[in-house]
Structure 1
Amino acid sequence: MTDGNATTAETDLDGAGEDGDCPALFRSAPSSVEFKKLRKRLLRQARQAIEDYAMLPARADGYPPKWLVCLSGGKDSYTLLAVLMDLKWRGLLPVDLIACNLDQAQPGFPADVLPAFFEKNAIKHVIVREDTYSIVTDKIPAHKTYCSLCSRLRRGILYRIAREQGCEAIVLGHHREDILETFFMNLFHGGRLASMPPKLLNDDGDLFVLRPLSYCSENDIARFARAMAFPIIPCNLCGSQDGLQREEIKRMLQAWEQQAPGRLGVMARALAHTRPSHLLDRSLYDFNGLSPRADAVEAASSSSEEPCGASLAMLGSLFAAQ
């Protein structure tokens, strides 16, 4: 994983798309220099992730691909939609975007918020109501974590909606910290090195799962969402459970970042720079077949290279001092 600061994504975003009206979503956006820098940083990082992981393969029929952009009503998914719409408006994302909210019938869920948001901002969308809440609470004891079953049910429904809408991909708002948290969840509790990739092919092989915000920090996303005054809907289903393992990991990562600012960025980059020969996975590296090369052994044994003069002089001075 890079830091999102390279190659094509560095192309100047100034002026792109500005000959036409901006999306309704941005008409009340702050005009401060600080916000403009934040907005462009998120655009640059998302564009870099899209490029790095080839999220835009060319279609054989020449038509633009369709993406189902999944909105839960949280800061991450609102930011995801805004960034993708911004890139599209600037002519940098030739994709048809369809916003989608899956109403999971949670008690107290404000079902009117997202439809009103979509209508106000002229956003193409689909709303689907499926009572996964009753299934999750029936199958999982109250003291257990709902997230795993809830996620599986939600993902299956989103796949179905994407197929019905003719989409090639579902697009999720996971960011850098989500990816790191998942990595440490797997490391500490799953006994494996794995996380959430920016691009994934589903088990059926017909849909991509894309995460364009993979390079974006949660702090930037939170600042952007506050500045844009998105109508945030909290997840009361899982958020009401105390002691979740993921929350413990989140606190750990936040403490590390406070102690050494920039550490999370370094850790995220490490996920894209693995060395199988320096790990323990025999399925990724042929340790059994590892042996010295005959030519290298012969060359080393027959080498008559003279010792380094500087080294000899340094050793001489050390012994003289003694």
Structure 2
Amino acid sequence: MKQQKLLSLIRQAIQDYNMIEDGDRIAVGVSGGKDSLTLLYAMKLLQEFYPKRFELSAITCNVGFEGMDFTGVAEFCKHLEIPYEQVDTEIARIVFQENKDTRPCSLCAKLRKGAMYQRLGELGINKIAYAHNKDDFIETALMSLIYEGRFYAFPPVTELPEAGVTVIRPMMYVPERGVAHFVADQGIRVVKNTCPVDGSTKRAYAKQLMEQINRETPGAKDRIMHAIVNGRFPDWPL
């Protein structure tokens, strides 16, 4: 995916759902993966010409998996001249040693978000941008159907007054394949995920299933995304 196309899709999502207001202080949640690094890069470019002015920073929650090294993320942020925060935690120990939950992902995500939101509050940052792409939205809807018996996907904008932060998802129109091509073209180095359940989760299953469906029924992804955007979910912005 070319840079111009990437920025166009991100800007369209921001405008469709009014994700940015003048004076916002926005942190990009950076895991070190291809999606979050692409969003950070794109938001830096967008900051230069978007009509609504906003401050930009990056934040990483280090859950404590052995072998995770975010030095490259810090260097990438320094290159882009973006302030960077790394929040170090013991979430990995809590989830995999103390709790030993058979479904660790939801607990891990909850603890990660809590740690980041606390730090964002201390920094006076009012919005966090997550890099959920188009495929993430589609896979979430598929998981919702399979495991919950309802049709739903997380909203583009989520107000969290108890945390004092608003979540925005500017990459919702960007296909995952386009992100992969963009990262390769730009030579962006990603951080290897050392989570012991990476690739064996319900989301990984939904991803594989969705790819199979789309191969057998070309265009299925686009039609599902169309249904999501027009789904009139209660917590989605009108």
Aligned mate of 1:253, from 200, 206, 210: 210
Counterpart amino acid of residue 75 in structure 2 = A
Is 2:63 the counterpart of 1:99? Answer: no
Q: Which of the residues 152, 155, 160 maps onto 1:197? A: 155
Q: TM-score, normalised by structure 1?
A: 0.68
Matched, 1:185 2:143: yes
2:133 is the counterpart of 1:175: yes
Alignment gaps of 5+ in structure 1: 1-34, 59-63, 277-322
- Please tell me whether the aligned partners of residues 65 and 95 of structure 1 are also in contact (alpha carbons under 8 angstroms): yes
- Render the CA deviation track for 1:185-236: whole Å, top value 9, x for unaligned: 1111112222111101125163111000011100101111111122211222
**Can you list the C-alpha shifts for 1:49-108, whole angstroms capped at 9, x where unaligned?**
1111111235xxxxx110011100000000111111111123445210011112221101
- Alpha-carbon distance between aligned partners in 1 of 2:216 and 2:227, rounded to the nearest angstrom: 19
Give CA-to-partner distance per residue, 1:248-306, whole Å, 9 cap, x none: 11011111222333321121011122379xxxxxxxxxxxxxxxxxxxxxxxxxxxxxx
Which runs of at least 4 in structure 1 moved beyond 4 Å after TM superposition?
Answer: 238-241
Q: Which has the larger radius of gyration?
A: 1
Q: Aligned partners of 1:247, 1:93: CA distance in 2, in Å?
A: 37
**In the aligned structure 2, how far is the partner of 1:272 from the partner of 1:91?**
24
* Residue of 38, 60, 82 corresponding to 1:79: 38
* Cα pair 1:49 1:215 within 8 Å, conserved: yes
- What is residue 83 of structure 2 aligned with on the other side? 124
Q: Any idea what SS the aligned residue of 2:86 has?
A: strand
Higher strand share: 2
The 5 Å alignment of 1:16-35 reads: none
Matches of 1:55 and 1:177 in 2, distance apart? 20
User: How many residues align structurally?
Assistant: 234
Check if 1:206 corresponds to 2:164.
yes
Please tell me whether residue 51 in structure 1 is matched to residue 15 in structure 2: yes
Distance verdict in 2 for CA 1:199–1:228, change over 3 Å: same
Tell me the secondary structure at the aligned position of residue 126 of structure 1.
Answer: strand
Q: Give, in whole Å, the separation in 1 of the partners of 2:178 and 2:67.
A: 29
CA separation of 1:134 and 1:275: change in aligned 2, threshold 3 A: closer
**2:47 pairs with 1:88:** yes
- Give the match's secondary structure for 2:226: helix
Q: Is the 8 A contact 1:84 1:93 kept in 2?
A: no
In 2, distance between residues paired with 1:208 and 1:266?
28
Identity score, percent:
27
- 1:41 paired to 2:5: yes
Give RMSD over aligned pairs.
2.1
1: CA distance, partners of 2:30 / 2:118: 16
Residue type at the aligned position of 2:207: K
Letter in 1 for 2:217: A
**Any conservation in 1 of the 2:21–2:53 contact (CA below 8 Å)?**
no
